[in-house]
Amino acid sequence: MSKGKNIAEFDLINDYFRGMTQQRRDVLLGIGDDAALIRVPKGMDLALSVDTLVAGVHFFPEIPPADLGYKVLAVNLSDLAAMGAEPAWVTLALTIPQIDDLWIAGFCSGFTELATRFDLQLVGGDTTAGPLSITVQVQGLIPAGEGLRRSGAGAGDDIYVTGSLGDAALALRCKQRGADDREDMEQLRMRLDRPVPRVEAGIALRGVASSAIDISDGLVADLGHILRSSGVGARVTLDSLPISPAVAAMLEESGDWSMVVAGGDDYELCFTIPPDRKDQLAAIAKQTGVTLTRIGVVEEGVGLRCLRGDGSIWQPEHGGFEHFSNGSGQY
Amino acid sequence: MSKGKNIAEFDLINDYFRGMTQQRRDVLLGIGDDAALIRVPKGMDLALSVDTLVAGVHFFPEIPPADLGYKVLAVNLSDLAAMGAEPAWVTLALTIPQIDDLWIAGFCSGFTELATRFDLQLVGGDTTAGPLSITVQVQGLIPAGEGLRRSGAGAGDDIYVTGSLGDAALALRCKQRGADDREDMEQLRMRLDRPVPRVEAGIALRGVASSAIDISDGLVADLGHILRSSGVGARVTLDSLPISPAVAAMLEESGDWSMVVAGGDDYELCFTIPPDRKDQLAAIAKQTGVTLTRIGVVEEGVGLRCLRGDGSIWQPEHGGFEHFSNGSGQY
């Protein structure tokens, strides 16, 4: 039962993370001591976010390991994006039932792929034996005082989202219902398993957005966090929500908006912006290559109203909250 | 399968961590946003260390939850201590099979007790449903450039350890063999379940020790890390190792040194110090209330020799390394 820090026959770093060659100048001491040593650059604040993904709860155990390695990092980077932080250092706590070379190599390749893209250096971690679960903590940098918070939305601000909503939830439903032989399945699956964290958009929104959050539990739930933190309400127009042709076709068929507004796993950003800064958005969209869509407006008061095209109020069946038996509580 | 960040019926922070009231001035934004925001004080380096403890691997599932909450943090603080870092912020990723109020309250009380003692602020985390395991990441502060590394030992340096060795391993053996009705069992159990991280000693050793590590896998294994990182060898005298009366009695009976030098879970510090700085140690021992014992000397060459009282070489049966099936690989 003692805590062995070394596994004689297993060297995760040298055997599997050779592809990860980032050597950031702000890392004084990386892997291989009791702790990593980092010198945070002058004038920068530090952002920290941690997420755990558990097999059978947050992902199908049979997910390709490269997708899992990618996603566990993407989910965390999405949190940094929502703060306007630039990713910098990451730690990986990997709990695996046994040493399966192919699986681990796949996992590390997906993780490395995304880390390399954002110049993220792996500075520490712990590999343990046990039921499959992964905890990743990302550290990012923000110019002092410029972190985007949930609490800055004001009445009259416009509400925007990046990208499009509902694809990941649709992919999940297709998988769960065995309806995954459709032509666009691979495209949908990428949205579920390989979400692109909106890091560049978050950075570009520093000093522009009045509040921001990443949409991991669905728009209603996550915009709800902004509204509660800011002490305001909001009105959102369903018809204005950005959706893909696949989601549009599903809506056409079922009329079920819940997948779009409460589906989860979108990893888009939702942000608010004072009207007098709106003219900066076109340049941000162009620079980052990310679509920015106005979906509603912040109002005085409490609560979120979702309006149909005819002006009637649409009521979500559930708000995107997950019961404990199937979810997480990140804080 | 979507990742719900909110658990409607469960509020770990407000319901269980109310006792944790630290509000550090360097925390700009604590729990409740996508990430915590921290302003690292000027002139300080940041130390990061992460550890995972898995039920049935690193602890008995029936461990009192308060002891577990304490220990998972102590294990991490011990890593910071080995760097000479002052604990500052912590994140907690808790994976639990179900919501058991009493258990969680106990866990949080043990965690809070130790966090409060070291003015550590909980700034983030994630609570997920799944097989019991806990990942903690601690962040600490060190005056720029003063971090204690494993790599600084030089031939001629003396080798010291804090406290005493082998009590935790003895406690574990007594438990495993059902021999836990002895009079001093509670005292031994505290050494296993409630180790005191040598934070003050680590801080006091900044600029004094030439290298340091915490002893989590046993003296032979951990001193071995210092030797390999520093490119030196060493000689240790078994008779000089600091041991408690309980361990002395066990040794008297069995003559088995492995529990003392390869037992694991000691969470003492092992450090090296150039001879010309040795006169500073008395003041450090007095100031921190921790015994510092000279156990050997660093030599040119490679490898560690453990000498018996008669000068013969003692060979460990195993070096304190854990096989993967029962251990971790922290990096």
Using a CB–CB cutoff of 8 Å, tell me whether B2 touches chain A: yes
Element (H, E) at B162: strand B158-162
Q: Verify that B23 and B62 share a domain, yes or no.
A: yes
Using a CB-CB distance cutoff of 8 angstroms, which residues of chain B are in contact with residue A1? 57-60, 172, 326
Instruction: Tell which residue, A217, A16, A216, has the closest CA to residue A102.
Output: A16
Question: At which of A85, A118, A143 does a domain end?
Answer: A143
Are residues A132 and A242 part of one domain? no
Q: What is the distance between the alpha carbons of residues A115 and A19, in angstroms, rounded to a whole number?
A: 10
Residue B273 and residue B211 share a domain: yes
Which residue is associated with the tokens 């005493």? B164
**pLDDT confidence of residue B326:** 40
B262-318 pLDDT, tens digit each: 988 999 999 999 999 999 999 999 999 999 999 999 999 999 999 998 999 988 765
Q: Does A19 touch chain B (CB under 8 A)?
A: no
Determine, yes or no, domain membership for B46.
Answer: yes
Task: Say which range, A82-91, A311-320, B95-104, B294-303, has the weakest mean pLDDT.
Answer: A311-320
**pLDDT > 80? residue B325:** no
E strand or H helix at A16: helix A12-16
Q: Do A60 and B93 touch (CB under 8 A)?
A: no
Residue A315 exposed, middle or buried by CB count within 10 Å (0-12, 13-18, 19+): exposed
Does residue A148 belong to any structural domain of this protein? no
Please provide the average confidence, as pLDDT, over all residues in chain A.
90
Interchain CB distance below 8 Å, A330 and B53: no
CA dist B11 → A322, B6, B28, B32, B269 (Å)? 13, 8, 22, 11, 37
Q: What are the residue ranges of helices labelled H in chain B?
A: 12-16, 65-83, 101-117, 167-176, 185-193, 199-204, 219-230, 245-254, 258-262, 281-288
Do A113 and A235 fall into the same domain? no
Does B136 share its domain with B183?
A: no
Instruction: Please tell me whether residues B167 and B282 are part of one structural domain.
Output: yes
For residue B21, is pLDDT > 80? no
Establish if B276 belongs to a structural domain. yes
Q: How confident is the model at residue A17 (pLDDT cuts 50, 70, 90)?
A: confident
Domain boundary among A100, A115, A143: A143
Q: Are A90 and A138 in contact (CB under 8 A)?
A: yes
- CB-based contact (8 Å) between A112 and chain B? no
The answer, for B248 touching chain A at a CB cutoff of 8 Å, is no
Are residues B218 and B257 located together in one domain of the fold? yes
ipTM: 0.91
The span from the CA of B160 to the CA of A108, in Å, is: 38
User: What is the extent of the structural domain holding A306?
Assistant: 158-316
For chain A, helix, strand, coil in percent to 5 are 35, 25, 40
Model pTM score: 0.92
Q: What is the pLDDT of residues B195-216, one digit of tens each?
A: 999 999 999 999 999 999 999 9
- Same domain assignment for residues A166 and A78: no
**Six token digits for residue A264:** 């989860």
As a whole number of Å, the CA-based R_g of chain A is 20
Q: Cβ of A95 under 8 Å from any chain B Cβ? A: yes
Same domain, A245 and A293: yes
For residue A223, the domain's CATH number is: 3.90.650.10
Which residues of chain A lie closer than 8 angstroms to B147, CB-CB? Answer: 28-29, 35, 37
Q: B293 with B210, same domain?
A: yes
Q: Are residues B208 and B94 in the same domain?
A: no
Check A129 against B217: CB less than 8 A apart. no
pLDDT tens-place string over residues B65-79 = 999 999 999 999 999
From A102, A119, A143, the end of a domain falls on A143
Contacting residues of A for B39, CB less than 8 Å apart: 45-46, 144
Name the residue facing B324 among A38, A99, A322 (closest C-beta): A99
Cβ count near B233 (within 10 Å): 18
**Looking at residue A128, which CATH number applies to its domain?**
3.30.1330.10
Q: Which residues contact A45 (CB under 8 A, 6 or more apart)?
A: A141, A142, A143, A144, A145, A146, A147, B28, B37, B38, B39
H or E element in which residue A72 lies: helix A65-83
User: Are B164 and B293 within one domain?
Assistant: yes
Q: Please check whether residue A277 lies inside any domain of the structure.
A: yes
Is B79 an 8 Å CB contact of chain A? yes
**At B102, phi and psi to the nearest 5?**
-65, -45
Shortest CA gap A273–chain B (Å): 18
Q: From CA B326, how far away is CA A305, in angstroms rounded?
A: 53
Split into its structural domains, chain A has a count of: 2
- Which residue in B29, B135, B217 is closest to A93 by CB distance? B135
Please indicate if any CB of chain B lies within 8 Å of the CB of A120.
no
Is B6 part of a structural domain of the chain? no
Q: Give the containing element (helix H, strand E) for A228.
A: helix A219-230
